[in-house]
Amino acid sequence: MNDELLAKDSGETLFEHTMAVVNAIRQVVANLPDGVFDQQGIVDELVLCAAFHDVGKAAVGFQEVLRHQRPKWDGKRHEVLSAAFSAHYSGLSEEAHLAILTHHRTLPPDGNAGREAGAIPSEQMPDPENVIWFQMVNEWETNRALFQEFWRKVCQAINHPELIELGNRSLEKFGLASPWLSQSPNNRRGQLKVIPFERRAKAALYRGLLITSDHMASGKTTPVQFPDLSKVKVYNGKLRNFQKRCQITEQNAILRAPTGSGKTEASLLWMQANWRKNSRVFYVLPYTASINAMHKRLSGIFGTQLVNVLHSKASAYLYSLLPDDKLSLDAQSKASALASLAREMYFPIRICTPHQILRYALRGRGWEQMLAEFPQACFIFDEIHAYDAQMTGLILGAAKMAMKWDARLLFATATMPEFLKRLIQDTIGIPEENVIEPKRRNPTDRRVLDKKRHWIEIWNGSLVTRLDEILQTTYDCPHTLIVCNHVRTAQQVFERCWQKFGKDAVLLHSRFAQKDRNKIEQDLLVALPRILVATQVVEVSLNIDFYQAFFDPAPIDATAQRMGRVNRYGSRPPAQVVVMNEQTSSHKLYDVERSRRTVEALRTAKNPISEDELVILANYVYADGFQGEELLEFETAFHHPSFERLEDHLIAGVHREWTDEIFDDADGRMEVLPAFYENKYRQLMSEGKWLEAISLLVPLRTSMVIAMKNDPKHWRSIDSSDEPWVIHKPYDAIRGLRLDTDNDETD
């Protein structure tokens, strides 16, 4: 082989890629939170890690794959060779050697030769019994001359000419003591039992920094220096009193302020008061749609180069933002790269779901970045819901863990019952003076509290049984919102609305393909229809403003969120909001007693209802707080061992399938392909347009899909012969996926 060694099949040389990783590491380390780490010590070691990390790619077989002379290298791992080569340099710590070994895969399985998904095959480890190891070494030795030239250039470029002579040495073993190579928590001689926590944490930190730098270098994206976020102008209007308090409040805080009062701006002012040099900002919202909307909002304030989204649909969302005339494979690559960057240490501000924070805290894939990014970070938890005890416990548990690294926390919500406020105060330690809400004695705040946007009525019956009367009210109202607790109910109500108003009626729920849902949401932002029938997906997502509304019964905090979509800014006289005392579906989405108490409280509320009255009602509905099974769910989640005893559980070089430990598989989601889109999906995939293709999938509860597959009445509706599973139920871009019919459908 006469050519220069390659790092990528694109033709990028090994030297070019190595130096790109070196440069990325220097900026990534420079962007670490100020005063927390020994940045010079870290960068000195990690520059050497970058120099060593890909030297195993010099092996003949690997080079032949990159030059398209053979299809694959039979599963052999180049990083095993890299770690063996780095062992020649005693100036590297064991933590650095482990980062080199595991920068693509997790530690090999304990014990004898074997394989484990995502792990380095144990039969490739340096061992006299491992034939594959010697094959890899021989392939590497074959390219010794080319490697020595590459290594000389690297050593000179990083100003370590004394390391050039290492290029003459043979590969034998790792520079790691045997306990480092054990990922078993039960091994008495393994990493968890023998290696002190401080060293395990350092190894994990190094691994995270090396991986993210490698990813950014591979993506041709050089990290940039973080700006001073505290200097950005986040609000141009006159500040209300409670916003001014946020602007000067340091440490953890609770913000309770009505929708449309400037709560988001107040949260950002708190962030600026608590931001320290290179602090990360995590803006946490419960739903993907609300994250996308907040991304557009914060991008307008801080600029798109500083803000990104972190959720499972990020690639498709970012792709949808591109102009139609630029939708191409290049645009697809750009969107995918941006979504990938959100998972790296690139953006100082990320908007995400609680699940993304939990993925780090419970040590899912990529958890090591937490060790670099949680210290001194600002977390804004927007709309934490009292009706989900388990998620509340998980959020507070992860938040309390982040406090160990001097993170700052803000819990912001429109309607927070007193029990939840006390719970947050007690578990996180927030003093009463850091509970911020509009005060009646202040004129600017009083206008917020006195603003009466809604006139509440309770109707007996359900949305379906009273639908004729509901529709009658819409003739004199330009824009009506109907919120149902279940998709099936929403589709049933919508059919009647469609019959009367045609395209002036719109349906929005979770069983649309992402492509169609994006279109519906974008159209709503341009112009409201006469009637929108929606499920709870509308609660905290779109910045929309309806003139009247009709709701299924729900707990007060969910109901208040729905009300936030009606007469949003109080610029009109109080709008009629009708809450039914019955729901159509027998499936109980919310706690029945909480929904009943909400209806009872609203029935006696004084109209028009004020914002502080909603808080009083929330206190009544949640007077008992979490009790019984709910309390057990909260306590179990809050006291998860990963939160409370990180030191006892952290193993460097491995990650866990964290969702299996927390959430019942039956509550999980899977994406299915409507038969309506099957041909289009296959065509897009064949053209390489996978982002457009996956935008045709529909999310469903896993338990629902499995039940249909096992039900003799519906088993033909699910085709599981290939990925993704195809569902043969009616679908269209107006109604979404319909499961309430026995009819099957093909493209």
| CA–CA gap between residue 599 and residue 591 (Å, rounded) | 13
Alpha helical stretches, state H, 219-311: 241-248, 263-274, 288-302
Residue 175 DSSP symbol: S
What is the predicted pLDDT for the residue at 747? Answer: 40
| Burial class (CB within 10 angstroms; exposed 0-12, middle 13-18, buried 19+) of 733 | middle
Nearest by Cα to 247 from 239, 258, 259: 239
| CA–CA gap between residue 747 and residue 739 (Å, rounded) | 16
| CA–CA gap between residue 724 and residue 405 (Å, rounded) | 41
Torsion sign, CA atoms 188, 192, 193, 194: positive
What is the predicted pLDDT for the residue at 584? Answer: 86
Domains of the chain, each with CATH number or no CATH: 14-218 (1.10.3210), 229-446 (3.40.50.300), 452-609 (3.40.50.300), 665-737 (no CATH)
Q: Average pLDDT per run of 10 along the chain, which is 747 residues long?
A: 83 96 96 94 96 97 94 94 94 95 90 65 88 94 94 97 94 88 87 94 96 90 90 92 96 90 93 96 85 87 89 67 56 67 84 90 90 96 85 94 96 90 95 94 87 94 96 94 95 96 95 92 91 87 86 93 89 95 85 93 92 89 91 93 90 80 57 94 85 88 84 79 90 94 55
530 phi and psi angles, rounded to 5 deg: -65, -40
Residue with tokens 């001014």: 244
Q: What is the Cα gyration radius of the chain?
A: 28
Nearest by Cα to 151 from 105, 205, 88, 92: 88
| Single-letter residue type at 710 | N
What is the predicted pLDDT for the residue at 345? Answer: 83
| CA–CA gap between residue 676 and residue 746 (Å, rounded) | 6
Number of neighbours of residue 160 by Cβ within 10 angstroms: 16
Beta bridge partners of 454: 575, 609
Copy the structure tokens of residue 602.
């609203």
Number of neighbours of residue 359 by Cβ within 10 angstroms: 22
322 phi and psi angles, rounded to 5 deg: -75, 145
| Single-letter residue type at 117 | A
What is the predicted pLDDT for the residue at 338? Answer: 67
Copy the structure tokens of residue 562.
């729905």
Residue 307 DSSP symbol: E
What is the predicted pLDDT for the residue at 586? Answer: 77
What is the predicted pLDDT for the residue at 746? Answer: 43
Nearest by Cα to 66 from 144, 155, 3: 3
3-class state of residue 588 by DSSP:
coil
